[in-house]
Amino acid sequence: MLNLSKKILVAIDGSPQSDKAAEEAVRLARASGTRFISKVYAILVLPGMREPSFTDFFPALPATERPDWEEKRKRIFYVVEKAATEAEIPLHVEVVYGEAAEEILSFAEQEAIDVIVIGSSGTGGVKRAFLGSVSIKVSLHARCSVYIVR
């Protein structure tokens, strides 16, 4: 049987591009209608590791354990949470540590995501040539569809 409900993953980082991607992900989920309920997964990838390594002499607290984390979390996920609530779309929020493209791809594989929605980085050609961008890496290596929002 054809399954019209979708699992949609949106990469969030608090930037205007990710806010646009979040709104687009919710719009895609809402387009499936009330009969086929799609779910949106919002993922924030923080740099580094959750646990300090043995080479850290004075390890800092992970971002999610700092006193100001809840305020930052609300600000970063504000747009996607507001849009999903207004559209009555189920939302799952995930915060992970690591390299952004790798973690997004890994999560998409684990959860059998149907489409990844990601904002365009907006980096210039020279910077992108040397560093690459998360959206390019994700689009090249994803096993599902990738929607890049500009």
Structural domain includes residue 43: yes
The interaxial angle of helices 134-141 and 100-110, nearest 10 deg, is 40
Query: Cα separation of 77 and 13, whole Å?
Result: 8
CATH number for 59: 3.40.50.620
pLDDT tens across 2-43, in order?
Answer: 456 799 999 999 999 999 999 999 999 998 776 778 999 999
What is the span of the domain harbouring residue 78?
7-149
Let me know: does 107 contact 44? Beta carbons within 8 Å: no
Structural domain includes residue 135: yes
Tell me, what's the pLDDT at 53? 55
Tell me, what's the pLDDT at 132? 60
Structural domain includes residue 78: yes
Structural domain includes residue 2: no
pLDDT tens across 121-132, in order?
Answer: 755 555 555 446
Query: Which of 13, 7, 2 is CA-nearest to residue 135?
Result: 13
Tell me, what's the pLDDT at 4? 66
Tell me, what's the pLDDT at 40? 97
Structural domain includes residue 54: yes
Number of folded domains that form the chain: 1
Scanning 32-99, the segments in alpha helix (DSSP H) are 69-87
pLDDT tens across 40-76, in order?
Answer: 999 999 987 655 555 555 667 778 888 899 999 999 9
Query: Which of 145, 87, 84 is CA-nearest to residue 117?
Result: 145
Query: Cα separation of 80 and 87, whole Å?
Result: 10
